[in-house]
Amino acid sequence: MAVIRDNFQMDPFSNAVFLFCGRKKNTMKALYFDRDGFVLLQKRLDNGKFQWPRNASEVRPLTRQEFRWLMEGLSIDQPKAIQPAKGRDF
């Protein structure tokens, strides 16, 4: 909680899941506040590594689909995935 608040200046009590990756990139921890306490989850890949940002400029919010890809060990940038349409003026 302190890392989220002090290092990233974000609200750990917000409606968000905060993800942290281990040094070897095979372990992921998720921290979430569910109104009466914090939930801490951990996932360790037996084979492979999580696709994780290399630096702070690559950190970004994830959609549910991107989160699912990440948990499956896939890249969150799937080049063949159908991208959401951008609003256009007609």
Calpha distance 67→63 (Å, rounded) = 6
Does a structural domain hold residue 85?
Answer: no
Does a structural domain hold residue 86?
Answer: no
Does a structural domain hold residue 82?
Answer: no
Does a structural domain hold residue 76?
Answer: no
- The number of domains in the chain is 1
- Residue range(s) defining the domain that contains residue 12: 2-71
Does a structural domain hold residue 80?
Answer: no
CA 19 to chain centre: 5
Does a structural domain hold residue 78?
Answer: no
Q: Tell me which residue of 25, 27, 20 sits closest to 51, measured CA to CA.
A: 25
Q: How confident is the model at residue 90 (pLDDT cuts 50, 70, 90)?
A: low
pTM of the model: 0.72
CB 20 within 8 A of CB 27: no
Does a structural domain hold residue 16?
Answer: yes
Q: What is the pLDDT of residues 4-58, one digit of tens each?
A: 888 888 899 998 999 988 888 899 999 999 989 999 999 998 888 888 877 777 7
Does a structural domain hold residue 58?
Answer: yes
